[in-house]
A = this chain, B = another copy of it.
Amino acid sequence: MNQKKIIKQSFQVNFDFNLIFTSKLFETDNNILVDLLSSNSTSKTKAIVVVDTGVIDSHPQLKEDIDNYFKQYNDSITLEGSVLEIPGGEQSKNDETFIQSILENINTFGIDRHSYVIAIGGGAVLDAVGFAAAIAHRGVRLIRIPTTVLSQNDSGIGVKNGINYFGKKNFAGSFAVPFAVINDDSFLSTLHERDWRSGISEAIKVALIKDYSFFEWIESKVSDLNNRDKDAMNELIYRCADLHMKHIQNSGDAFEQGSSRPLDFGHWAAHKLEQLSNFEVRHGEAVAIGIALDSTYSYLKGYLSKPELVRVLDCIIGLGFNISYHQMNEQIIKGLEEFREHLGGKLTIMLLKSLGTGFEVHEMDKNIVLESINYISSYHSKKIAI
């Protein structure tokens, strides 16, 4: 009656990009980057580079390597300005001045929608640079070069970016598809032990909800991974990345317009634990605990058998994760509502019905959550005592 006319709009947008695996990306005989940068352009193209300070600290020759690399291929690409460094970790996402300086470089060097921003670093730096690249000119081309296990197998290969605002993690951000992602395994060798281990929990997570054979494989590689076997880690990253990317491809909701977020198995408690610990517990470490918690909950609710739960907990503990923190207490329960709020809509939590098969529920029994917390804490103590 009040509606006089209506025009229905409906369209699809296609997105594609490659995740390329390599070693020693900036050695001058490695043509992957130059091929990529000149693949989509008839004329000479330009790029700016932003690097995580932590990566420079571990690879002091990196800036020189980058300079030499671009000099070598100066016919087809120009490196504009010098490499911009921004600090790694949440600092890069908390302090707006870093976003500001990336935008300034994009402006100063005339980076347009057909030129490139190349980001090298851990997940936080990729998130911050990705956000700046996504909003400049409504999106300039972004090449992500993740340097940690976590960013190479999960956070760096997806379609999200973000910065913290009002003290809230990822309050501002967008869904933006990178032009390409390059995983260079030479960055992994210098990782500190905690960073080497951290990212493994995302592989356990995706294996448990989607791929039993991958979980079996991880179980079989616990000691290789603990001994920093490069081949085992490369395989773990590849399979984990592949499962994540296939999920985005097949979910039908790549930009998360609904309430369901299956890849966030174990994450509701993880986010809260990170916050309660003032980010002393890192994301991957928190996810390991979140997985232990929601697997135990799945067992206590009768979905998962005891032998299955034992395999999950033993795998996590075997990889050296600590699953007993003093911040793991009833405060964690608040994470449920915050998780719902962040995504909006209905609470949707992934649980396990068997190893390799997840399913969703829309409420959690708080008493059983508390029971699960006690269960994993005492399980861990007994293990340690052995």
Contact = CB atoms under 8 A, between A and B. Distances in A.
Interface of A: 2-24, 29-32, 41-42, 103-104, 107, 110, 112-115, 131, 134-140, 160, 162, 165-166, 168, 170-176, 238, 241-242, 245, 248-250, 254-257, 259, 341-346
A384 to B, nearest CB: 38
Contacts of A24: 2
The 8 closest A-B pairs by CB, nearest first: A114-B344, A112-B344, A113-B344, A10-B16, A114-B345, A5-B21, A7-B19, A2-B30
Given A9-B248, A15-B11, A341 B241 contact: no
Given A4-B21, A344-B115, A346-B42, A249 B135 contact: no
A175 B342 contact: no
A138 B7 contact: no
B113 A138 contact: no
Copies of this chain: 2
A113 B245 contact: no
A181 B19 CA distance: 37
A5 B26 CA distance: 17
B6 A135 contact: no
A343 B111 CA distance: 10
A7 B341 contact: no
Nearest to A15: B11
14 contacts: A2-B22, A2-B30, A3-B21, A9-B248, A10-B15, A11-B15, A11-B249, A11-B254, A12-B13, A107-B165, A112-B342, A113-B345, A134-B174, A137-B173
Given A2-B22, A22-B2, A107-B171, A137 B342 contact: yes
Contact of A7 (B41, B241, B345): B241
Contact of A6 (B20, B134, B139): B20
A13 to B, nearest CB: 5
